Every structure is written in structure tokens, then in C-alpha cells.
Amino acid sequence: MLNISIVVLVSFILVYSNIIILNEETLILICFVTFCFIAFNKLQNVVFEDFQSNSQKIKISLSKSFIELMNSLRLVFKHKYIFENIISNLQFLKNHFIAFGFLTSKKLPIYLENNVEVIYPKKLIFTQRLESQTSKLLALLLNYKLNKITNLQNFYTHNCKITTFLCINKITLREYLKVL
């Protein structure tokens, strides 16, 4: 470092010999240089530490961003690989679906024919049983209704002796005789 007494002595000689003129601008310049010199000497360690801490923060930030960039690149490559596999899997699925469609169209008529041969006899037997039971039920219902009608007619003709029923009975009897 410069010795302050040497600087003052040289300055005094330069001012005395009128090499340096002392006016406001020169005094401001001297004050500014002195301020910078003192600030540099006194604040040197603080500024250095601040710069060091800022550089460490920047270094950490850069390393984190680099790690994130690497992770995102790995993820992109992984997705690219998966996407390529999806395309090949979809191609395989398409081929399989076409083969399945052809095989199904070949085997479906045979399956339906076999299915018809198994199911329709059962349905026909069920329908035949249902028909026989329905015909028996209809016969029983018809017999029951006819018995009721004949019993009612017998009651009205013999017990009530209403002339209209007697007349109707004779008319129907004549019609039956004509048919025979």
C-alpha cells in the first residue's frame, strides 16, 4: 500500500508548482478517490464475502437446474420409449383383432348351428308340453263352463218354469234335430 505521507507530500509539491490546480472539481475528485480508496480497504472483506455467498447461491441454483434438466430429459426419453412401445403394441393389437375377426366370421355360423341344434329341441319339447297342458286346461275350463250353463238352464226350466226358457229350450231342441 502507499504510504499516506508520501501521497500528501507529492500532492503538496504538485499544488505548489501549479501542476495541480485546486478548485472545486479537483477537490471533489480528491475526495472521491479518497472515498473509493477507504471504501475499498474497509469494505473489501464484506464485499468479497457477499460475492462469495452470491456465487455459491448461483452455483447451487445452476446445479439444481442442471439436475432438473437431466431428470426432465430422462423422463422425455422414457416417454419416448413408452410411446414407441405403444405404437408397436397397437400395431400388434390391430393384427390380433383382424385375425380374431376373420376367425370369428369363420366359426360363428358353425357355432350358431350347433347352438340351434342344442337349444331348439329343448324349446320345442317345452312348447309341446305347454301346448298339451294348455289344451287340457282349456278343455277343463270349457267343461266347467258348459256344466254351469246346463245346470243353470236345467234350474230355470224345471225349478223356475219360466216360459221363455221353456220356449228357447224347445227351439234349440228342434234345431238340433234338424241338424241330425
Span 135-154, pLDDT tens digits: 889 889 888 888 887 787 77
Average pLDDT over residues 28-35: 86
Does the CA dihedral 131-132-134-139 come out positive or negative?
positive
Are the C-beta atoms of 167 and 179 separated by less than 8 Å? no
φ/ψ (deg, to 5) at 17: -85, 5
Cell numbers linked to 147: 256344466
How many CA atoms are closer than 13 Å to the CA of 126, on its beta-carbon side? 5
Cell numbers linked to 84: 414407441
Are the C-beta atoms of 22 and 15 separated by less than 8 Å? yes
| pLDDT per position as a tens digit, 33-92 | 888 888 888 888 888 898 899 999 999 999 999 999 999 999 988 888 777 778 788 888
pTM: predicted TM-score of the whole model, two decimal places: 0.34
C-alpha to C-alpha distance for 119 and 101, rounded to whole angstroms: 25
* Average pLDDT over the chain, rounded to an integer: 83
The number of angstroms, rounded, from the C-alpha of 51 to the middle of its chain's C-alpha atoms is: 52
C-alpha to C-alpha distance for 167 and 67, rounded to whole angstroms: 117
